[in-house]
Amino acid sequence: MAKIKITQVKSKIGSTLRQKRTLEALGLKKVDGTVELESTPQILGMVNKVRHLITVQEL
């Protein structure tokens, strides 16, 4: 599987509880936090829900 690099660029303050929990499930805790994850349909679905708070790069 391909890997993707996800970086949180905006704060989760003011987001819905569902969006905050999605960020936590992705492993993002702080602004400028970065994680590398496999590009699975489940991960891509979570990325789509919080796409306004993150940036995504393919590795």
Q: What is the pLDDT of residues 26-37, one digit of tens each?
A: 999 999 999 999
Cβ burial, residue 54 (10 Å; 0-12/13-18/19+): buried
One pLDDT digit (tens) per residue for the chain, 59 residues: 799 999 999 999 999 999 999 999 999 999 999 999 999 999 999 999 999 999 999 99
Would you state the structure tokens that stand for residue 51, as one six-digit string? 């796409």
Query: What domains, with CATH codes, occur in the chain?
Result: 3-58 (3.30.1390.20)
pLDDT of the residue at 29: 95
**Whether the Cβ atoms of residue 6 and residue 58 lie closer than 8 Å to each other:** no
pTM of the full predicted structure?
0.92
pLDDT of the residue at 1: 79
